[in-house]
Structure 1
């Protein structure tokens, strides 16, 4: 009787709490039904699950981070090398379409075009007699990383909680009821994998096992094993060959363990059976009540670092899907805060140290043939996944990507040599768990050769945030290898004499002047990436005091790179030729890489280029695919235009299908390309951070792009800036910073740009900043003056007044600044 009273109290309390404290919850009053994009995601970096919250037929869709099709393989096309000279001549002669046809033969892989991230299966729970239910409620609590479903049938309250335990590496589901001995259901696996075998063991374990799929001529050699163990309080269990039935239990806990034989990208000899059993046995020894707080503590170690308050209105009283539907027409600032933290939640859940990087869909996929294979598209999408990592205080979660880049720097050596006759390493626009670096999907997309260069810069960014020279020493060979590829691959323009890439392309876009071909020489984005790779390698070598001769070579070659161009419409040119179409609405605006995530274009240093980038943004328009709108939030933040950045947030936070010809957001707040791509979630979280704090342009800039709707009052805590600085807290009122508390982890000059005057609250010496920042982690590279079309009309540069301060700090010092 005591148990009954306790459970009833918990159920009533949970409903009340959920209805009144929804700040960090996605919640709904209807089940997901059969729609995967309505289900709620959980994950621990190794296992992912989508919890449907259905009443009679619950579905837990499962993923494991190393379960991919195929096996170790390479996909280079060695025919490229002998055709490079011919291809380069065709492009320089303006015959891009002919060059593209040749590239399809000699550059694009004749083997695998990349392997697929696979779904592990679904755990189904069928409940007889639960069709007529009341008081339905389900939620994802992103403060605790736990889903909950609750409802009533015939006066009995039922509750389910599901979590993906970080310390225990398993998924755990706990079912309870307000009346003893009233839980009855049948559990079984379903799977799309053709080589899967499903069995039961010992009457309380469901298993699924098999070998991964063959794909595009690559044999599936990865073995996997999943085990679900059911523990009951009260009642009984019975089993068939493939299912387990629970009768009249009071509470049930289901432990789900999945493992594969994957050791690394070149070794699949691990023991999946031992791994799955080991994770399971350690977890089963604990009750749900023991696992739950340990899971929450491990998760909150990351999540609780950042808190954001943009204000609250009564819109929070509505379910998440209704808030999404209404967001464009109501004042709901807390919905932006929820979406912001949801992005951080997704990164914590899909990218953990020692695991695989977040794919195009994070760690969640329910399709045997997912869109774009749910792999790594490295001409924007994978990089965007990790934009929030450093700045939103999740630096450790950058590690899976950084490790992948290090592995690509090994596999990419052969690609650089065999395909392009170059030293160093490179990768094209796509890769997978086997670290393939060949060109895939056709020359229009796949001939892009800068995946390695762009990815290598993530290691440099990681260093800029922590200043750890030991890490830099491990990253330097990767940076050097990326730079060395460009040293060997760049060629001289026949008339301009600049050094540039050929063949090259601006990702996935083709101007009409090129007969619909994407191929060209020396596109703006590539020139910007090469500049950054050379610059970061130079600085890393100088910090580590090595490779002086190589540094001299890089400096000389960097001086010969093509400058950026401002075209006849006042736009930043995408190509060397002035052929941009003001009516081009293409989702890729790759040449604005120099604005963000790079920092070559600045409102304070390169005003003409900054205005040209703005014109390009206006030409391209706002509505686009989900990830593109996410990138645009960052760009408009770098434009220092908070209201326009907020408009892009409104566009992105629109139900999918509403934006004509564009993306949006699904009911579970997944980003829609459409279909689902997680990069838009991460991109928007990064963009919101950039609206509130930037640190790439020589200083920590507080409130650089605060929109009108947030100006009244707000606060954020825990953001990280370059140089080892942490914004312990920042508060604002009426668009002005009223208090900022900044901690210096490693010391050095702290330069702060603010929209209003501040003073020291703790006796720290402030001085007005002049000249270059003396902090070596804030060095800003000087770029060439742009080439400006004679037809261009350049708008005047108008900037709001700001205040720039320097504060000398020591390691561990905390600086407090308040309104003057």
Structure 2
């Protein structure tokens, strides 16, 4: 349906809706704050699917952190391990014999994917490098001169990367001193240093007193009294990390300082906060990786000449127009900034202005955390940043172009300087050498030149208008409105801290609309899919590589796309699937001797599909099958048979793999999935429930797709024969849905990953048509509890909605809205000040999963019936949703009041027959393509 038609229909419904007067005024569609961002998770995200930026909004110094979606480590290569298949049957036999540990040992050695670089060459280089840095111990001496060293406050819970050492791997020395009073003399002292990443060698007054390795080990060294003297004592620590975060990170979940105290008397302690450090060697050999990491591009800084004595400060993100704005007043002059990233013109646009002529003076700089980079002047308006990835093959270039109204503009090889202007517009374009997952021959310089040529002569107002128009074509297809409470007018960070449904129910609708904004901003046709952090990452070693984790996280990113009327944004996911199917066919052959394709629990820009990390969780075979659910769901929502015809071969290929892979369990006779895993626990097992649910769903959907396309009748019959042979869901001794073949579930287990409930959501393997199994699944979730990390809470929202328990689903939403930073300063699951989901750290899947769960409260259509308000919470008695989608090709507007349906309007986009259900009432009616049908709360016309 065209946007114009949708808007007209929405206006008509509004005019005649009995509840529309309650929402006469459009609710604020913005996040806003009264201070600049103090942390990256306070900053506000912009994106066009390819370029991303985080806006901090500083007064004296503005900072925009930048991403380009194809800047990754690694290179094109084959991830599968040749010959791994010869170990498949021995691993299966060990599992069948109950020898899990032996199976994991064999799989670890012979069945995992390949690394880059090779392990054997790395060991030699690592040993040589390590010996060299360990031979340099001069900084351990008590009398060593560290006057020129830099100061750092410890601990650094997020690693030294957040303390100014971005991208730092290697060896560092830390030094501090403390006073030993006379009352401590003759006593052993305890050095409590918390956790250290990854290796430490700790010295007191030049003597080695402790050494250990591993992030999970708390460093608590008891040092003999003889090592100390009365008065000043020197503590020196050599910290070595080869990859990922480094440093003294303290105790998890606290901000307690590092301390020293007499043995047995921790209350009489001295804090060790202020340290000096020096980089000893920042060039360790490249650690072999199973997969690549998504990397930051760089930063734009504006340094202003005006004073810092500001007033009337406001920083905002308008999600209905995808514009970030900052305004404040200094000495009677109002300064404003406006930023957006244009999809039509593929650039970041930054407009800065002052209310008084000549009051705008600034310096603009480009920076990057990459070691290999060059800054240079291109022309009198343009500064260029070129960089190369250290542990990969990609190159990237960014151009910063400036024009000014009044004043003097000059460009050097390091900065753009502007003096006494009234306004200025900056354009940032960026490109990499990535062309596709097999080809890195792109020319980023040519890409930047072309992109800049397309925008630099277009007026700012024209660029802005084109950006807003294009963005709203996606954003305005849907709306969700509930009555505002008294806290709705507060700044967003205060709304989060003070959240309650009574005072601010509209934060729920803002959260949902924000997730739509984030999906539009991170996933557009022709781009890469939204990764673990969407498109936004500032770390050289991001959490979990900021990759595509396919045992829930990538899929969760796209849970809301269809139902919240953003089907267009799914195209990158389907392109990834096609590419991963190509790569995954090699993995299927080498590891399983099977046709088709397989994808384990992670993939990256280069479409790695092999098992990674460790055998106890990395050998999980149903990533491809789960992704195929999205292909079928896209068809169900859109009824697009041309799409289904293109995507069906990917689905069929995934099914062909499992036709070969499934084997008969010698104990039960059922066909089972082995070896595999029940994410994220239990180790390497045979027959996890989740696998069987996913495989059944894949087979059923392939059968249905073949029928729609009138093809592959024989293959469909084969799948029909296999389905009843697959191990079924089983109810265990605790009235729970079993997670494994054996009835071994621990009712005290409150693990965050509820893998065996996949069949409830997002799958349809378990529905209320089998009430006994549904109740068992519900019992399992009750045992798991209401806690969890951000994405886990989001998943539970969806499952409780499928249980039709809206109040419990809302409890999960409330838990999801917990401030991620506690009063004590440590991180927990919830949301950050910018409404980013906290695992912690930031993962965007909780934003998307939470919003899909809210949609499941309002509409469900997975059983062939469109159920209206199936899980409406008591605390959300009034509301209106427009443009929500249902399977079968329907678009629905729903209005409810005092917990009761008032009106529903159904638009049929394809002319299918429609079944509507509300409570115990159900109707079925024929429709015409583009026909519109309106009913009251009793489902009467």
Find 2:703's aligned residue among 534, 538, 554: 538
- Structure with higher Rg: it is 2
Indicate the residue corresponding to 1:656 in structure 2: 820
- Choose which of 769, 778, 794 in structure 2 pairs with 1:614: 778
CA contact (8 A) 2:501 2:875 kept: no
Equivalent position of 1:730 in the other structure: 894
Matched, 1:693 2:870: no
Q: CA deviation at 1:329?
A: 7.6
Contact map agreement 1:624 1:661 (CA 8 A) in 2 = no
What is the match of residue 812 of structure 1? 930
**1:209·1:223 contact (CA, 8 Å) conserved in 2?**
yes
In the alignment, structure 1 residue 749 sits paired with structure 2 residue 882? no
Q: Is the contact made by 2:383 and 2:415 (CA closer than 8 Å) also made in structure 1?
A: yes
The aligned residue for residue 271 of structure 1 is 443
Contact 2:889 2:912 in 1 (8 A): no
The C-alpha deviation readout for 1:683-714, integer Å capped at 9, x for no partner, is: 00100000001110121110001101111x21
CA deviations on 1:621-673 (whole Å, 9 max, x unpaired) are 11100000011110111010111111111100110144999501000000000
1:636/1:644 contact within 8 Å kept: yes
Q: Please name the residue that 1:676 is paired with.
A: 842
Equivalences for 1:566-585 in 2 at 5 Å?
A: 566-585=731-750
Task: Select which of 656, 659, 662 maps to 1:490.
Answer: 662
- Find out whether 1:721 has 2:893 as its counterpart: no
SS in 1 for 2:854: helix
Mean Cα deviation higher: 265-274 or 247-256: 265-274
Q: Please list every run of 5 or more consecutive structure 2 residues that lacks an aligned counterpart in the other structure.
A: 1-24, 116-288
Q: In the alignment, is residue 206 of structure 1 matched against residue 206 of structure 2?
A: no
Whether the aligned pair in 2 keeps the contact of 1:658 and 1:664 (CA below 8 Å) is: no
CA distance in 1 between partners of 2:27 and 2:367 (Å): 33
Give how far 1:421 is off: 0.2
- Separation of aligned partners in 1, 2:930 and 2:835: 38
Give the drift of 1:173. 0.5
Q: Distance in 2 between matches of 1:21 and 1:642?
A: 26
The answer for the alignment partner of 2:36 in structure 1 is: 31
**Per-residue deviation at 1:211?**
2.2
Q: Counterpart of 2:290? A: 113
Q: What secondary structure does 2:537 align onto?
A: coil
Q: Secondary structure at the match of 1:705?
A: coil
Whether the aligned pair in 2 keeps the contact of 1:23 and 1:334 (CA below 8 Å) is no
Structure 2 equivalent of residue 217 of structure 1: none
Equivalent pair of 1:749/1:808 in contact (CA under 8 Å): yes
Separation in 2, partners of 1:85, 1:744: 51
Q: Given the alignment of the two structures, is residue 639 of structure 1 paired with residue 757 of structure 2, yes or no?
A: no
CA separation of 1:661/1:370 partners in 2, compared to 1, >3 Å: closer, same or farther? closer
**Equivalent residues of 2:486, 2:503 under 8 A apart:** no
Contact 1:181 1:248 in 2 (8 A): yes
Shift, 1:600, TM fit: 1.7
1:24-173 superposed matches below 5 A: 24-33=29-38, 35-111=39-115, 112-173=289-350
Contact 1:625/1:663, CA 8 A, preserved across alignment: yes
Aligned-partner Cα distance in 2 for 1:199–1:621: 56
CA distance in 2, matches of 1:805, 1:572: 33
CA-atom RMSD, angstroms? 1.4
Distance 2:26 2:649 in 1: 49
Question: Which of 500, 504, 521 does residue 676 from structure 2 map onto?
Answer: 504
Structure 2 Cα separation of the partners of residues 229 and 119 of structure 1:
20
2:807 equivalent to 1:803: no
Question: Any idea what the Cα deviations from partners look like across 1:740-797, whole Å, max 9, x if unmatched?
Answer: 0101111121001113xxxxxxxxxxxxxxxxxxxxxxxxxxxxxxxxxxxxxxxxxx
CA distance in 1, matches of 2:466, 2:355: 25
Distance 1:663 1:236 in 2: 49
- Name the residue aligned to 2:624: 452
Alpha-carbon distance, 1:159 to partner: 0.2
Instruction: For residues 531-560 of structure 1, give each alpha carbon's deviation from its aligned partner in whole angstroms, at most 9, with x where no partner exists.
Output: 011111111112222222212211111120
2:373 matched to 1:196? yes
Structure number having the greater strand percentage: 2
Give a deviation string over 1:225-281, Cα, whole Å, max 9, x none.
100101100000223321111100100000000011211111111221111111111
Question: Is the 8 Å Cα contact of residues 383 and 412 (structure 2) preserved in structure 1?
Answer: no
SS of 1:262's partner is coil
Whether 1:589 aligns to 2:754 is: yes
1:310: how far off?
A: 1.5
Partner of 2:790: 626
| Consecutive unaligned residues in structure 1, runs of 5 or more | 1-19, 215-219, 511-517, 756-801
Distance 1:546 1:718 in 2: 33
- Name the counterpart of 2:537: 365
Query: How many pairs does the alignment contain?
Result: 739
Partner of 1:780: none
Q: Does the 8 A contact of 1:376 with 1:430 survive in 2?
A: yes
Preserved contact between residue 79 and residue 113 of structure 2 (Cα < 8 Å): yes
What's the counterpart of residue 570 of structure 2? 398
Instruction: Give 1:183 shift.
Output: 0.3
What is the Cα deviation at residue 317 of structure 1?
1.8
The correspondence for 1:337, drawn from 493, 500, 509, is 509
Aligned counterparts of 1:208 and 1:547: Cα–Cα separation in 2: 53
1:106 to partner: Cα distance: 1.7
Alignment of 1:290-301 (within 5 A): 290-301=462-473
TM-fit CA distance, 1:129: 3.4
How far apart in 1 are the matches of 2:393 and 2:604?
15
Q: Does the Cα contact within 8 Å between 2:820 and 2:827 map onto a contact in 1?
A: no
Structure 1 partner of 2:496: 324
Partner-residue secondary structure (3-state), 2:385 = strand
- Check if 1:703 corresponds to 2:869: yes
